[in-house]
Amino acid sequence: MRIAIVSDIHANLAAFRSVLAGAEAGGSLDALWCLGDTVGYGPQPNECVEMLRSYKNVTVAGNHDLASCGKMPTDDFNGAAATAAEWTAKELSDSSRDYLTELPLVIEEGAFTLVHGSLRWPEWEYLLSSEQAQAQFELQKTRFSLVGHTHLPAMCREDIASPPPLRPAEDGARVELTEERMIINPGGVGQPRDGDPRAAYALYDSDSATITFSRVEYDIPETQAAMQQAGLPAWLIERLAYGK
Ligand code: ZN
């Protein structure tokens, strides 16, 4: 089976399309596993939800999904994020809102656990440090966990002797899945934050038991123009060009 692991699509349809084209270039996809924040920040929330739903998908909720369907207050969001969440809430169709409202925070799928932030705090914790990775492994019942939220492609192998570091994952990096427990973050589709503006995703191939990290270019000006038209905050529009 070939499964694309995507996260933080953030209503960026051009980025999502490029990721799907990139993932499908090597063969058709059997499913999408989506780690949340399908909406928020970007200009095409309904289109992205519909695109996701056109695939067999296993999807968890992120903080932006929860905020945009009224399940989480935006008090702790920064100004631009809160403005975008309010815009998204008004924009969502009933069908998209119902879909997002019903998403669980954590899903176990075979040897994988899917969660947006971390198992300790699914909708909010940014899993970045060794200490946080250790805490994740303590709560992780499956061999692998897949997280998003930071928009930074990264991976971590469990090390009983010393707290494991989370290492950035480069474009093309390939991870062999063995008995070793791991945490994997595919990076962000719709708003990368590692200084590389290309959309990020990972591809799980169950036949070769590998996960491969990938980056693809997409039409950034197309998304920026749609954001401008929607009246979304300038800072959100500009940051797409820098991948920050
Ligand atoms: Zn996000």
What distance in angstroms lies between residue 62's CA and the mean position of ligand 1's atoms? 7
What distance in angstroms lies between residue 161's CA and the mean position of ligand 1's atoms? 32
What distance in angstroms lies between residue 229's CA and the mean position of ligand 1's atoms? 22
- Dist. CA 94–CA 200, nearest whole Å: 29
User: Would the pLDDT of 134 be above 70?
Assistant: yes
What distance in angstroms lies between residue 206's CA and the mean position of ligand 1's atoms? 27
What distance in angstroms lies between residue 160's CA and the mean position of ligand 1's atoms? 30
What distance in angstroms lies between residue 29's CA and the mean position of ligand 1's atoms? 23
The 10s digit of each residue's pLDDT in 176-189 is: 999 999 999 999 99
What distance in angstroms lies between residue 35's CA and the mean position of ligand 1's atoms? 9
> Is 0.85 topped by the overall pTM?
yes
User: Would the pLDDT of 163 be above 70?
Assistant: no
User: Would the pLDDT of 159 be above 80?
Assistant: no
pLDDT at 164: 72
The 10s digit of each residue's pLDDT in 3-29 is: 999 999 999 999 999 999 999 999 999
What distance in angstroms lies between residue 205's CA and the mean position of ligand 1's atoms? 25
- Using CA atoms, how far residue 97 sits from 44, 68, 103, 165, 191, in Å, is 13, 8, 10, 37, 21
CATH fold, domain 2-239, is: Purple Acid Phosphatase; chain A, domain 2 (3.60.21)
